[in-house]
Every structure is written in structure tokens, then in C-alpha cells.
């Protein structure tokens, strides 16, 4: 699409144009001059963003039905947003991943940070799973998928339409096979010496969480000869990595029977089946029950879903993180380790750390914080966008 044919959207005179010039990628609804023309721009359309003095700032994707009214696509107002433009974005993202990883299993596109706002692509060898979580990406999905195949050579592309982000954009929740044939059964993914089973069509999000890879690796160093408890384990996350690191036993706890079945299959494929066990149930209930049973572990890891997915949910979320820490800390043997994780972007590191430390203190334990982990380099952080640095992992010695 040629930029000369785009409509224009303008910032209000008091809007923070400097933040956008310095790389902030979003313009909120209350920062835009809303007139009859602006209201008539269709969701997913491209436009030229101007500052309050009518100077062009770049090409943006517009969604009048979202609080994020504009997402910056290209700071060159003359940019042509077409398949060739998308190919360049995918090629740049691929170059980084190929430099770091020796096998094609990683997050290929991490939304704004890789220059494709709202778009997530996870790669599983010959299959890519795309989440077009912004309206513009849904509108240009055909071109995007063609560019993805051209750059990576994958033979299968799946669309995952689930998730809160698409709902906020006013998009459907339909998932589909866009190219090729969906894999039959789970796809084995080798990370940190363990084999994980990723369900690309029926699992959570894209089927596997790559973001915790470096934290799995660090945790494994603490788990030699250890008895390990992995709560909110999903498909075996920390538990399988700990067994690869030499743990004696690992118990995986999750509310999903399907996830635990995949974890068991992963343990078996890794050769750890005899050292691995599962327990289905609500994490809070299981932690309470284990304490009542007098159980202790050398390493306890809790990696819950986002308890604070948005600012309105922050205080409630922080209380949930504190409660997890309070229930988990008594299960850690003297001199053992407690690993607490948060994927809530609304709870920044300081707030999450504060909640965790309060919980440990309320459990009557003393703690050293020995390491703070974040997402891997296939989930790069955009310095101007705090939301891109959502994952935190705190490693405590109790």
C-alpha cells in the first residue's frame, strides 16, 4: 500500500510527540484529534501520523475501536507497507535467532520489538504458529504469511486466534491452518537437554512457552540430586529441565490434565519417566495439601499465569503472588531454593519482588535473592515499552 493514499491522523497539541519520536510505538485514543474523518477510518487501515503542527511522523496502523488508536509501523512517512516490507522485517528477526540458536525452535517475531506491532510468531521447526493480535495484522494476514514462508521456508503455518489481546482489538478467536497440513500429534522440542511436547493446535497460546528457556537452564544448576516441585508446570517446564540437570525426582502440578499428559510424554521421551510424577489440581490447594502432608522439597518453582494482566488487576494480582510465596516457602527445605515467576507486565519487577518477599516473610522464612531472570533473547525487550519486558523470575535461597 502506497503511503500517499493514506488518510491522516493528528496528535492533539498537548500529546507527547517527543515520546513517539524517541521510539514509543503506541498512540492512545485520548491523544488523537477525533473528527468526522478520523471516526470513518476502518479498523486495520493504515494512516499517516502527524504531530500537533502537522509534521508527518510515520505510517501507523489504526484501530478506532481500541484504546491503542495507532501503532507505529514505519517512521518513514513515505514507506510502502507491502509483502517486500514484511519480508525485510522477517529477515531481520530471523538473522538474530539464527545467530543465537542452533535449531529452528524459538520465538521468531516478538511483536513491537521486532517491528511488527501486535504480531507473535513462534517457530517449531518446519511449522510456524502466528498470532495476529492487532487489527492491521489480521487485515494483511495473507501478505504476512507469504512473507513468513518466503523468508523461513516453513511448510506449515498455523493461526492461533485465542487470547485476550485479540478480544481487546475486536477480532474473532478463530484458529486455522493457513499453509500446509497441521502436524499430527504433539511436536517434540529439545531445550536444555529435555524433550518437550508442544500441542500446536489444542495447547495454550502457540503450544509452548519459549520465554522461560534461560530460567529453566539456571534452575537446572540448582537441582543436581534435588527433590523438585514444579507448580503451574504446564507441559513440564521447569520439572523436565531440572531432571535434565540431574534432579533425583520432580513433581509437576497443574490444573490441566491435558498439559500434564504432555509433560509425562516429554519425561518419557527424555528418558526421565521413572523420576517424574504429576499431580492435577488447583495450585493453591495442592500447596496447602503438601504442607499438611509434611512434604518438603530441595527446590520449589512456581510459574503461574498472569495474575495481573492489566493495571486494574494489579493489586489483586500482587496479593495472589504474595499468597503463592507464603504457601510455597514452607515447603522448601533449609538451604533449599524457591523460584517465583511472573509474566504480568502490569506488575513491574520491584512490585513483584516486594510481593514475593512479603510472602516469604509471612511464612517465617529468611531469603537471599541469588538471581533475577528474564525472557530469552528471542523475546527481545523494547526499551521504550515496559510491556515488552513482562517476564520476571526470582531465585531465592531460603
Give the model's pLDDT for residue 1: 55
Residue 46 belongs to domain with CATH number: 2.30.130.10
> Strand pairing of 392-397 and 332-342?
antiparallel
Mean pLDDT for all residues in the chain: 95
Contact 48, 6 (CB under 8 A): yes
Q: Could you tell me if residue 71 is left (phi over 0), alpha (psi between -120 and 50 degrees) or otherwise beta?
A: beta
Which has the closest alpha carbon to 388: 26, 19, 8?
26
Residue where one domain finishes, among candidates 18, 46, 74: 74
Bridge-based pairing state of the strands 176-179 and 187-191: unpaired
- 95 and 239 in one domain? no
Do residue 315 and residue 198 come from a single domain? yes
pLDDT for the residue 4: 62
Q: Are 242 and 125 contained in the same domain?
A: no
Show the domain range for 22.
3-74
Cell of 175: 484458529
Question: 96 and 223: one domain?
Answer: no
Alpha helices for the chain (secondary structure H): 17-21, 36-39, 83-100, 135-139, 141-152, 164-169, 213-221, 237-244, 257-270, 283-292, 314-328, 349-362
Q: How is residue 257 written as a grid cell?
A: 490434565
Whether residue 271 has pLDDT greater than 70:
yes
The last residue of a domain, from among 74, 101, 136 = 74
Q: What percent of the chain has pLDDT over 70?
A: 98
12 and 107, same domain (yes or no): no
CATH number at residue 275: 3.40.50.150
Q: For the residues 21-37, what does the mean pLDDT come to?
A: 92
Please give the average per-residue pLDDT across 155-160, as a whole number: 97
Buried b (16+ CB within 10 A) or exposed e, 187-226: bbbebbbbbbbbbbbebbebbbbbbbbbbbbbbbebbeeb
Domain boundary among 21, 53, 74: 74
Is residue 216 a contact partner of residue 222, using CB atoms and an 8 Å limit? no
Q: In the structure, what pLDDT confidence band is assigned to residue 204 with cuts at 50, 70 and 90? A: low
> For 209-264, what is each residue's pLDDT tens digit?
999 999 999 999 999 999 999 999 999 999 999 999 999 999 999 999 999 999 99
Same domain, 354 and 375: yes
Is a pLDDT exceeding 70 seen at residue 2? no
Cα–Cα distance measured from residue 120 to residue 191, given in angstroms and rounded to the nearest whole number: 20
Catalytic residue, from 156, 302, 341, 343: name it. 343
- The pLDDT value recorded for residue 309 is 86
Do both 89 and 162 map to the same domain? yes
CATH number, domain of 120, equals 3.30.750.80
How many domains is the chain built from? 3
The pLDDT assigned to 24 comes to 95
Residue 361 near residue 324, CB atoms below 8 Å = no
> pLDDT (tens digit, 9 = 90+) per residue, 59-99?
999 999 898 999 999 999 999 999 999 999 999 999 999 99
pLDDT value, residue 203: 67
Cβ pair 224, 242 in contact under 8 A: no
DSSP 388: G
Provide the grid cell at 64.
Answer: 478506532
- With 80 as the cut, is the pLDDT of residue 46 above it? yes
Residue 3 pLDDT:
56
Band of pLDDT at residue 367, cut at 50, 70 and 90: very high
Asked if 312 and 358 sit in the same domain, the reply is: yes
| Distance, CA of 387 to CA of 381 (rounded, Å) | 9
206 band by pLDDT with thresholds 50, 70 and 90: confident
Q: Is 70 a catalytic residue?
A: no
Q: Name the nearest CA neighbour of 172 among 147, 141, 199.
A: 141
Are 170 and 196 members of one domain? no
Residues 100 and 223 reside in one and the same domain: no
172 with 196, same domain: the answer is no
Asked whether the predicted pLDDT for residue 323 surpasses 80, the reply is: yes
The pairing of beta strand 26-28 with beta strand 8-10: unpaired
- Under a CB-based contact definition with an 8 Å cutoff, are residues 151 and 93 in contact? no
Residue of 87, 92, 74, 88 lying closest to 2 (CA atoms): 74
Quick one: cell of 332? 522448601
Residues 208 and 328 in one domain: yes
Amino acid at each position: 500500500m502506497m503511503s500517499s493514499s493514506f488518510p491522516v491522523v493528528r496528535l492533539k497539541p498537548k500529546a507527547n510527540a517527543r515520546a513517539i519520536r524517541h521510539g514509543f510505538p503506541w498512540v492512545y485514543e485520548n491523544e488523537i484529534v477525533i473528527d468526522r474523518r478520523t471516526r470513518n477510518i476502518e479498523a486495520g487501515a493504515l494512516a499517516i501520523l502527524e504531530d500537533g503542527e502537522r509534521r508527518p511522523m510515520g505510517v501507523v496502523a489504526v484501530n478506532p475501536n481500541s484504546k491503542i488508536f495507532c501503532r507505529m509501523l514505519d517512521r518513514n512517512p513515505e514507506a510502502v507497507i507491502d509483502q517486500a516490507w514484511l519480508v525485510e522485517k522477517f529477515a531481520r528477526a530471523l538473522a538474530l535467532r539464527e545467530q543465537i540458536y542452533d535449531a529452528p525452535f524459538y520465538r521468531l517475531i516478538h511483536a513491537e520489538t521486532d517491528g511488527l506491532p501486535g504480531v507473535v510468531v513462534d517457530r517449531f521447526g518446519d511449522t510456524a504458529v502466528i498470532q495476529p493480535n492487532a487489527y492491521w495484522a489480521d487485515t494483511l494476514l495473507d501478505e504476512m504469511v507469504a512473507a513468513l514462508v518466503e523468508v523461513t521456508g516453513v511448510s506449515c503455518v498455523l493461526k492461533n486466534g485465542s487470547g485476550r489481546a485479540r478480544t481487546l482489538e475486536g477480532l474473532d478467536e478463530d484458529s486455522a491452518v493457513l499453509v500446509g497440513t497441521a502436524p499430527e500429534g504433539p511436536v517434540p522440542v529439545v531445550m536444555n537437554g529435555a524433550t518437550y511436547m508442544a500441542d500446536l493446535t489444542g495447547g495454550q497460546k502457540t503450544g509452548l512457552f519459549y520465554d522461560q528457556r534461560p530460567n529453566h537452564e539456571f534452575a537446572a544448576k540448582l537441582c543436581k540430586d534435588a527433590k523438585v516441585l514444579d507448580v503451574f508446570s504446564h507441559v513440564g517446564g521447569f520439572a523436565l529441565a531440572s531432571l535434565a540437570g540431574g534432579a533425583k525426582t520432580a513433581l509437576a502440578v497443574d490444573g490441566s490434565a491435558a498439559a500434564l499428559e504432555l509433560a509425562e510424554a516429554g519425561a518419557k521421551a527424555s528418558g526421565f519417566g521413572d523420576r517424574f510424577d504429576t499431580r492435577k489440581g488447583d495450585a493453591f490447594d495442592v500447596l496447602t495439601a503438601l504442607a499438611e502432608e509434611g512434604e518438603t522439597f530441595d527446590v520449589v518453582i512456581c510459574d503461574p499465569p498472569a495474575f495481573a494482566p492489566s493495571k486494574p488487576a494489579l493489586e489483586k494480582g500482587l496479593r495472589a503472588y504474595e499468597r503463592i510465596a507464603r504457601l510455597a516457602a514452607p515447603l522448601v527445605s533449609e538451604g533449599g531454593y524457591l523460584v517465583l515467576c511472573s509474566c504480568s507486565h502490569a506488575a513491574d519487577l520491584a512490585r513483584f519482588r516486594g510481593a514475593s518477599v512479603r510472602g516469604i516473610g509471612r511464612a517465617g522464612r529468611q531469603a537471599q535473592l541469588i538471581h533475577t531472570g528474564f525472557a530469552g533473547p528471542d523475546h527481545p525487550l523494547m526499551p521504550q515499552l515496559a510491556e515488552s519486558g513482562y517476564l520476571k523470575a526470582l531465585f531465592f535461597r531460603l
